[in-house]
């Protein structure tokens, strides 16, 4: 779709137009079916859980003099750690002992919790329709989707336009710590959840796509799950930095 055609599709969304079954419920637990008759029930990760996760499993890479990059793979271990943090109960197994749940069942369940990501306008239009596109010259708009009970939900965030100070704080939060060792140097991510959540709270104006357990739209942007806040504000600043980089090239 051409840009000018897409502009015609945008509108100021009226939440009353959105169906309850298209709103992500923020105060319900995750009950995920692993296989026939087998279910895992988890709570949503709080800020403290995400802080533990980023401390336990920071992003790391090692670069040698030749420019080769080595990135340790700890994806499965990270998912298992998260599962153990969040699991409340399992159903359909011979025993309620969580330690006896097969590892092969745990990782996919944790992955469902982590399925939150940024999408663009074309994706929203193609998968959910024009009711979910929002036009604003005053605010920065970020689109994301997340999964709940195997279904993908659309949501979008209205942010005040960040200042230079906000951009500087973001760059500091996501910067890597560097260490040099003879012929190699390593990069390790720093804890960033607190800083990103602070930026979210300072800049967010409104959110669409979330409801409470009774189906009513959330009344406070702070009710958005922490992981969703982090993804949304990270997407906001990545877009700004990408735009600045394109301007410098031109």
Span 100-111, average pLDDT: 92
- Where are the alpha helices (H) located in 114-217, listed in sequence order? 121-128, 164-174, 193-203
Do 63 and 187 form a contact (C-beta atoms < 8 A)? yes
**Considering the entire predicted model, what is its pTM?**
0.84
Q: How far apart are CA 230 and CA 47, in angstroms?
A: 10
Q: Give the residue from 7, 233, 4, 1 showing the smallest Cα distance to 135.
A: 7
Query: For 181-220, b where at least 16 C-beta lie within 10 A, e where not — what string?
Result: eeeeeebebeebbebbbebbeebbeebbbbbeeeeebbee
Using CA atoms of 99, 100, 103, 105 in order, give the dihedral in degrees to the nearest 10: -110
| DSSP-assigned beta bridge partners for residue 117 | 145
Residue appearing with tokens 């739209």: 217
Task: State the pLDDT at residue 178.
Answer: 75
Residue pLDDT, tens place only, 171-182: 999 987 777 776
| Interacting residues of 62 by C-beta distance below 8 A, sequence separation 6+ | 69, 70, 71, 184, 185, 186, 187
* Per-residue pLDDT band at 70 (split at 50, 70, 90): low
């Amino acid at each position: 779709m051409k840009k000018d055609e897409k502009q015609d599709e945008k509108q100021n969304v009226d939440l009353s137009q959105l169906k309850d079954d298209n709103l992500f419920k923020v105060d319900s637990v995750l009950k995920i079916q692993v296989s026939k008759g087998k279910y895992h029930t988890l709570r949503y990760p709080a800020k403290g859980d995400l802080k533990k996760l980023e401390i336990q499993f920071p992003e790391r890479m090692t670069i040698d003099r030749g420019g080769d990059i080595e990135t340790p793979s700890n994806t499965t271990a990270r998912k298992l750690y998260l599962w153990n943090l969040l699991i409340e109960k399992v159903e359909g197994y011979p025993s309620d002992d969580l330690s006896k749940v097969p590892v092969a069942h745990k990782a996919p369940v944790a992955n469902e919790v982590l399925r939150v990501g940024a999408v663009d306008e074309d994706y929203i239009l193609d998968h959910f329709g024009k009711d979910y596109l929002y036009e604003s010259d005053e605010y920065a708009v970020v689109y994301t989707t997340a999964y709940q009970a195997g279904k993908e939900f659309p949501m979008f965030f209205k942010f005040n336009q960040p200042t230079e100070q906000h951009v500087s704080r973001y760059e500091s939060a996501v910067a890597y710590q560097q260490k040099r060792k003879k012929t190699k140097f390593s990069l390790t991510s720093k804890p960033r959840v607190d800083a990103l959540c602070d930026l979210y709270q300072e800049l967010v104006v409104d959110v669409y796509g979330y409801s409470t357990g009774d189906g009513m739209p959330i009344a406070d942007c702070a009710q958005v799950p922490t992981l969703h806040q982090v993804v949304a504000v990270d997407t906001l600043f990545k877009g700004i930095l990408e735009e600045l980089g394109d301007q410098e090239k031109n």
